[in-house]
Amino acid sequence: MSYDCAVSVRVPDSLEELVTGLAADPGCELLAGGTDLMVEINFGRRRPASIMSLSRVTELKGWSEDAATGELVLGGALTYTEMLQPDLAGRLPALAQAARTVGSPQIRNAGTLGGNLATASPAGDTLPVLVALDAVVVVESADGRREVPVGDFVTGAKRTALRPHDVVHSVRVPTRRTRQEFLKVGTRNAMVIAVCSAAVVVDLDSCSVRVALGSVGPVPLRAHEAEELAGEVLDWDAGGVLAGDAHRDGALERFAGLVSAASRPIDDHRSTAAYRRHAVGVCARRALERVAA
């Protein structure tokens, strides 16, 4: 048996070293939490020639608030466990809720936001949340830095706008007054890949609602017609809440139907398309009820 297995492993200490190394070796695999790449290596599905670990690049870690714009800047190496810490979870509750449904404590300690984006699985749990939050991905390379809206960053199932020598530097989340929720359906409560998910953000600054769906299409999908309906139904003068009138239940039903109609699910080993289409509507309706009740 022959193997093509020569592999060099590098652990750069800074962002500059990382992007310089990537420019010189654009075929290099980036290793963050290892929850995807190491599985491929362990099972012999991938034999990268070179690997660079992000574990010591401090510029990618943690999160901060941009003093100039007030935006939240989430590092590419931010872990799911860090998303769950009260400081950040209080600011981005939907992201924390999504992080809490990822894997197990072990996986949440290792897996990162940048990894979720770069892997771009249709079932990536943070992706619909980032879309609903209107977030922007900051991509770094030896050429410089550029910003890509999350919706444009994920271009297909496991496909992204990243070039071979790019790395996800951070994610910028605009600071607005919002109420937000994320719901996910799976076969159990832990260690489960989403059958479908929905993120709902009620934006009190723009008097609008954003709804993004996960695992019901190759990329996270916005449900624009459902958003418009929700925007009309909510009483913005009363703080973006659902009016408790006789039309409420009918409006929520129509909202769920429009969400289902916006989904583009497939049958696979995890679920049928028909169930996904139904369940994603239920998730979004419940999420809206929770944040606008």
Partner 1 sequence: MTTAGRADQPDQPDQPDQPDQPDQADQPDQCSYTLSVNGQEHELRGAWMGESLLYVLRNRLGLPGAKNACEQGECGSCSVLVDGELVCSCLVLAATAGGREIVTVEGLGAGERFTDVQVAFTETGAVQCGFCTPGLIVTVHDLLERNPRPSELEIREAISGNLCRCTGYGRILEAVETVRDARLAAASRAAPVAAGATRQEGAG
Binding site for partner 1 (CB under 8 A): 1, 3, 5-13, 17, 21, 31, 33-35, 38-39, 41-44, 47-48, 51, 53, 55-56, 103-107, 109-110, 189-191
Backbone angles phi, psi at 97, to 5 degrees: -65, -40
Q: How far is CA 96 from CA 57, 83, 84, in A?
A: 24, 5, 5
Smallest gap from Cβ 24 to partner 1, in A, equals: 12
> Which of 8/206 has CB closer to partner 1?
8
CB 51 within 8 A of CB 29: yes
CB 155 within 8 A of CB 161: yes
Smallest gap from Cβ 85 to partner 1, in A, equals: 12
Using CA atoms, how far apart are residues 217 and 50, in angstroms rounded to an integer? 32
Smallest gap from Cβ 235 to partner 1, in A, equals: 35
> Which of 12/265 has CB closer to partner 1?
12
Smallest gap from Cβ 44 to partner 1, in A, equals: 5
The stretches of 133-187 forming alpha helices (DSSP H) are 150-153
> Which of 40/232 has CB closer to partner 1?
40
Specify which residues 136 forms β-bridges with.
149, 172
> Under DSSP, is residue 198 helix (H, G, I), strand (E, B) or coil?
strand
Smallest gap from Cβ 51 to partner 1, in A, equals: 7
Smallest gap from Cβ 6 to partner 1, in A, equals: 4
CB 71 within 8 A of CB 173: yes
CB 52 within 8 A of CB 30: yes
CB 207 within 8 A of CB 268: no
> Which of 27/239 has CB closer to partner 1?
27
How many Cα atoms occupy the beta-carbon half-sphere of 67 within 13 Å? Answer: 0
Smallest gap from Cβ 76 to partner 1, in A, equals: 17
> Which of 3/68 has CB closer to partner 1?
3
Using CA atoms, how far apart are residues 275 and 272, in angstroms rounded to an integer? 5
> Which of 20/208 has CB closer to partner 1?
20
Exposed e or buried b per residue across 45-75, where buried means at least 16 C-beta atoms within 10 angstroms of its C-beta: eeebeebbbbeebebbbebeeeeeeebbbbb
Smallest gap from Cβ 8 to partner 1, in A, equals: 7
> Which of 31/74 has CB closer to partner 1?
31
> Which of 100/172 has CB closer to partner 1?
100
